[in-house]
Amino acid sequence: MQWETVIGLEIHAQLSTKTKIFSAASTAYGAEPNTQACAVDLGLPGVLPVLNQEAVRMAVKFGMAIEAEVSDYSVFARKNYFYPDLPKGYQISQMDHPIVGVGHLDIEVNGQTKRIGVTRAHLEEDAGKSLHESFHGSTGVDLNRAGTPLLEIVSEPDMRSAKEAVAYMRKIHELVQYLDISDGNMQEGSFRCDVNISLRPKGQEEFGTRAELKNINSFKFVEKAIFTEVERQKEILEAGGSIVQETRLYDPDKDETRSMRSKEEANDYRYFPDPDLLPVYISPELRAEVKADLPELPEAKKQRFVTDYQLEAEAANNLASSRPLADYFENLVKTSSCEAKICSNWVCVELSGALNKENLTISQSPIDFTRLAQLLQRIADNTISGKIAKQVFEAMWSSTDSADAIIEAQGLKQITDSGAIEAIIDKIITDNPAQVEQYLSGKDKVFGFFVGQTMKASQGKANPAEVNKILQGKLKR
Amino acid sequence: MTIHTKTLKQLSQGLQTGEYSSQELTQAYLNRIQQHSTLNSFITVTETQAIAAAKQADALLAAGNAPLLTGIPMAHKDIFCTQGIKTSCGSKMLDNFIAPYNATVVDKFNTAGMISLGKLNMDEFAMGSSNETSFYGSALNPWADSTVPGGSSGGSAAAVAARLIPAATGTDTGGSIRQPAAFCGITGLKPTYGRVSRYGMIAYASSLDQGGPMAQTAEDAALMLQAMAGFDAKDSTSAQQDVPDYSANLNDSLKGLKIGLPKEFFDEGLNSEMATTIETAINEYKKMGAEIVEVSMPHLKLAIPAYYVIAPAECSANLQRMDGVRFGHRCTDPEDLNDLYIRSRGEGFGTEVKRRILVGTYALSAGYYDAYYIKAQKIRRLISEDFAKALETVDVIMGPVTPTPAFGIGEKTADPIEMYLADIYTIAINLAGLPAMSVPAGFIDNKPVGLQIIGNYFAEAKLLNVAHQYQQVTNWHQQTPKGFE
């Protein structure tokens, strides 16, 4: 039987507010346990939540970016369950009236664009962390993370492969960073997702029973977890079994998923509107403000790069995928008088390559756009060749020197003086009579030999155009 | 020196003119508390802190310009968090809880210069109408120690009635200020929902809870409310509404005042002597020129069932934080997490609290939510509309606070439903979020009776005016129980 995979994602993006969603405690990552948990976060008797308006603004921004219905009226609800890292015994979340309603996002897989529906996105608070190690059989609780604002983004079951799921997750990841509403840091848990997977016979409309894979925090693991889970479900179905609706955990070390709890064991969360918080009304003023504040989105930026800078679609896509990268590129174009295509090449190939190698982001780049602009400027004005530029780039990477200083110090200036180049060429012609003979007898390829020799003799500094011109004059057939 | 029968107003004059010092006053009241400790109205007496605060108050008074209430003793219901002082909420669960912060109300009274003498007894987590659910045993009614002082603010009412303190704070979720005020013959005011900050006031049912003053007179209640009321950025449900001068209109004439009497308040459920007492009180208003209009609250009878869905639902969630993990009672040697939860909560909570948690949990459960919680919210809206409609035609609504005077200790504990039904005249007001007062209006068998005055949203000044005028022509509020003169 041919099976079709059906996937829906619930993504939790931590919003990058300075303080928590319902208290004034800091959200900064990495502090000593329980040093960033105030009375409200600890759930002490008598404390009350006060909504962080910045979180609301960020959610509205996200809603607008995915062309979703942003509700005028939304309600916070209590989701009740007991756990030591959930101080109040309930999580403040949203149920019936989420802040962001139906929207969509386009992904590209194998050159095909596909529209993925977003069911809703709602605001909620994160729980704390239970630490099971190093407490001599007891469990420690760190409540620094308790009350951190999350935006839970729920997709429609619109994805049909691991590839689509990852493309969608990447797209959301890119978008929240673009909007500057989340740092998207997956190691720190700022961006994680639950994956709902089911199979159905190809052609069948009705969905199969799904399993939910909880809390996966890397693109790679999402992909692997889906493969593993699809295989597991396929095996069961093909053996005539049926899938149990349950929550499963993906173990990346063993590359397997295992059951956490079945539907029967699932909590009844007893949601009801939180009486401590008033409903949230989104005013037309706030809408207008957020709209004005909305950055150019990746898709629009990509189109503009193609039109304004004549970039290839792939390069434009590449650059537009990250706002700091796109900004870097545009600043580079503006500062250097280099062609946009050359700038794009340098950013996409040399710079990105070097960054990837050291696992750095563009904002951590040791070479800022002003320094790179000077380097590209020197290519444009023929001071150095593109090849030498790569050498200069490497030197710049590991120092703070300017391109000019390095060119000067290492004597890398291009030889454009035709007299000097002629002298080199004359010597090579004299030293290689056999090759001259071959070329003159019609072997075109040998021309390259002379270019190479000349460049070598000039330590790469001879202007290649000039070398070509002079060689062609001297080796006239 | 018999100062304990004096009102806040009189005490303030005595302190400001130097007739006595705050330290003398504080000591005098501390002595009375000690002397009448069998009343069990206090859970904690903070003698040392009170004396230190009185010293400071005296310095302030000596320097001049001290706020009006400076140096006057009072006490807080043990539901308000007080920094560094045990805040038990009447429960074994919080018997070891020393609050690390002050409730906004507590801060406000500190700023006003009042001297807190301690924390007052109450029904456990404010769940009860008799004070009998308190982990510390019931406070007694000073009018007859075989009867309950009412609840949940029973300690507050008993202490003010016995003149152990001139005034106290209370909270009212379904009648918890008004009913004990009525049972103990004092003046109590439940403000409009949102008028007084709930920050630091341990939540029972968040959408119904409201703190308010309990005092001898309406005039004193006005002074207390003045100190308590106001928007608080720490409480999202507190009202961003200006606080008027509650004392400014106390002496306004009541000529032409329209008083609505809901016929449902005077039906067969009301004790006949009670009905007579209330009618007598209404007659006083007629004499002052008020007009009486009959109004109707067709949904009143649904108030109790609606309340006993909404309040338990909210409390079931509110009390989940009492889990033995971070504060409060924890069982010894828990085997695992479940054991920790089950035993800590099982041991920490009393019967009535457990009953309400169970009811609330059930009402919110999948499959029951619409039938109970949603329906109760609809009833709540209908009740609000009943009041809104009546208040379009009248200035205030009057009626009894309770169907009978204080009942005997143990009389209703066997049948919780009977206890719940006794709150019929107070609960609807919380569901509507309106302000209401209980004013001493006479006695039946030497037991005090309260007249209830209900007003429109944020009409506390009007209620105080209406109550004060009554107290100008009656002296029920000046009666002191035997043995406490």
pLDDT digits (tens, 9 = 90+) for A210-264: 999 999 999 999 999 999 999 999 999 999 999 999 999 999 899 999 998 877 6
pLDDT tens for A232-241 read 999 999 999 9
Taking the CA atoms of B286, B291, B295 and B300 in sequence, report the sign of the dihedral they define. negative
In chain B, residues with a C-beta closer than 8 Å to the C-beta of A87 are 321, 325-326
Q: Is A90 on the interface with B (CB under 8 A)?
A: yes
Residue A425 CA to residue B47 CA, distance in Å, equals: 105
In order, the DSSP letters of A8-36 are: EEEEEEE---SB-SSSSSB--TTPSTTSS
Query: Which amino acid would we find at residue B425?
Result: Y
User: Cβ–Cβ of B313/A272 closer than 8 Å?
Assistant: yes
Domain ranges of chain A: 3-288, 296-409, 418-474
State the average pLDDT over residues A10-39: 96
User: Cβ–Cβ of B100/A39 closer than 8 Å?
Assistant: yes
Instruction: Give the other-Cβ count within 10 Å of B193's Cβ.
Output: 23
User: Cβ–Cβ of B314/A90 closer than 8 Å?
Assistant: no
Confidence category of residue A285, pLDDT binned at 50, 70, 90: very high
User: Cβ–Cβ of A275/B320 closer than 8 Å?
Assistant: no
Interface probe for A, chosen from B80, B85, B323, B378 (most Cβ of A below 10 Å), is: B323
Residue A437 CA to residue A439 CA, distance in Å, equals: 6
Q: Is A42 on the interface with B (CB under 8 A)?
A: yes
B280 Cβ partners below 8 Å, 6+ apart?
B441, B442
Per-residue pLDDT of chain B in tens (485 residues, 90 and over written 9) = 478 999 999 999 999 999 999 999 999 999 999 999 999 999 999 999 999 999 999 999 999 889 999 999 999 999 999 999 999 999 999 999 999 999 999 999 999 999 999 999 999 999 999 999 999 999 999 999 899 999 999 999 999 999 999 999 999 999 999 999 999 999 999 999 999 999 999 999 999 999 999 999 999 999 999 999 999 999 999 999 999 999 999 999 999 999 999 999 998 778 899 999 999 999 999 999 999 999 999 999 999 999 999 999 999 999 999 999 999 999 999 999 999 999 999 999 999 999 999 999 999 999 999 999 999 999 999 999 999 999 999 999 999 999 999 999 999 988 888 888 889 999 999 999 999 999 999 999 999 999 999 999 999 999 999 999 999 999 999 999 999 98
Q: What are the phi and psi torsion angles at B188 (to 5°)?
A: -130, 145
B67 Cβ partners below 8 Å, 6+ apart?
B111, B112, B113
What pTM value is reported for the model?
A: 0.90
In chain A, residues with a C-beta closer than 8 Å to the C-beta of B328 are 45
The reply to whether B91 belongs to the active site is no
The pLDDT value given to residue A193? 96
The pLDDT value given to residue B237? 98
Taking the CA atoms of A79, A80, A83 and A87 in sequence, report the sign of the dihedral they define. positive
Burial class of residue B168 in the structure, from the number of CB atoms within 10 Å of its CB (0-12 exposed, 13-18 middle, 19+ buried): buried
Instruction: Give the other-Cβ count within 10 Å of A64's Cβ.
Output: 19
Contacts 24+ apart (CB under 8 A), B240-245: B241/B194, B241/B195, B241/B458, B244/B461, B245/B461
End-to-end CA distance of chain B: 12
Q: Is A131 on the interface with B (CB under 8 A)?
A: no
Please give the helix or strand (H or E) that residue A191 lies within, else none. strand A191-201
B6, B9, B77, B412: the active-site residue: B77
The pLDDT value given to residue A440? 85
Q: Are B96 and B329 in contact (CB under 8 A)?
A: yes
Taking the CA atoms of A305, A311, A317 and A322 in sequence, report the sign of the dihedral they define. negative
Nearest residue on chain A to B97, judged by CA atoms? A45
Interface probe for A, chosen from B93, B209, B318 (most Cβ of A below 10 Å), is: B318
Residue A244 CA to residue A233 CA, distance in Å, equals: 10
Q: What are the phi and psi torsion angles at B382 (to 5°)?
A: -60, -40
User: Cβ–Cβ of B366/A49 closer than 8 Å?
Assistant: no
Q: Are A246 and A197 in contact (CB under 8 A)?
A: no
Which value does ipTM take for this structure? 0.96
pLDDT tens for A59-95 read 999 999 999 999 899 999 999 999 999 999 999 999 9
Confidence category of residue A39, pLDDT binned at 50, 70, 90: very high
End-to-end CA distance of chain A: 70
Residue B187 CA to residue A324 CA, distance in Å, equals: 66
Burial class of residue A448 in the structure, from the number of CB atoms within 10 Å of its CB (0-12 exposed, 13-18 middle, 19+ buried): exposed
Q: How many residues does the structure list for chain B? A: 485
Query: Which amino acid would we find at residue A421?
Result: I
User: Cβ–Cβ of A45/B337 closer than 8 Å?
Assistant: no
Nearest residue on chain A to B364, judged by CA atoms? A270
Residue B288 CA to residue B469 CA, distance in Å, equals: 9
The pLDDT value given to residue A477? 63
Residue B325: which of A46, A47, A84 has the nearest Cβ?
A: A84
Candidates A356, A354, A342; CA nearest to A394 is: A354
The pLDDT value given to residue B137? 97
Please give the helix or strand (H or E) that residue A254 lies within, else none. none
Residue A270 CA to residue B421 CA, distance in Å, equals: 27
Q: What are the phi and psi torsion angles at B364 (to 5°)?
A: -95, -5
Candidates A14, A299, A7, A263; CA nearest to A155 is: A7
Residue A265 CA to residue A27 CA, distance in Å, equals: 33
Q: How far is B128 from chain A (nearest CA, A)?
A: 19
In chain A, residues with a C-beta closer than 8 Å to the C-beta of B235 are 48, 50
Q: Is A245 on the interface with B (CB under 8 A)?
A: no
Q: Is A277 on the interface with B (CB under 8 A)?
A: yes
Instruction: Map tokens 């790179």 to a residue.
Output: A372
The pLDDT value given to residue B233? 98
Candidates A284, A274, A282, A283; CA nearest to A50 is: A274
The pLDDT value given to residue B296? 95
Count of A-B CB contacts under 8 Å = 102
Is B8-256+455-478 a CATH 3.40.50.300 domain?
A: no
3-state secondary structure of A453: helix
Q: Is A8 on the interface with B (CB under 8 A)?
A: no
**Crossing angle of the two packed helices A298-309 and A162-178, in degrees rounded to 10:** 80
Nearest residue on chain B to A88, judged by CA atoms? B321
Domain ranges of chain B: 8-256+455-478
The pLDDT value given to residue A261? 80
Burial class of residue B333 in the structure, from the number of CB atoms within 10 Å of its CB (0-12 exposed, 13-18 middle, 19+ buried): exposed
B129, B130, B134, B176: the active-site residue: B176
pLDDT tens for A430-451 read 888 888 888 888 888 888 888 8
Helices (H), A199-257: 219-238
The reply to whether B301 belongs to the active site is no
Q: In what order do the strands lie in the sheet with A211-216?
A: A103-109, A112-125, A149-155, A3-14, A191-201, A211-216, A246-251, A256-262
Residue A92 CA to residue A76 CA, distance in Å, equals: 6
State the average pLDDT over residues A110-117: 94
The reply to whether B287 belongs to the active site is no
Cα angle, residue A64 at apex, residues A60 and A70 outer, rounded to 5°: 55
CA dihedral A167, A169, A171, A175 (to 10 degrees): 180
CATH architecture of A418-474: Orthogonal Bundle (1.10)
Candidates A126, A147, A131; CA nearest to A26 is: A147
Residue A317 CA to residue A306 CA, distance in Å, equals: 9
Residue A130 CA to residue A133 CA, distance in Å, equals: 9
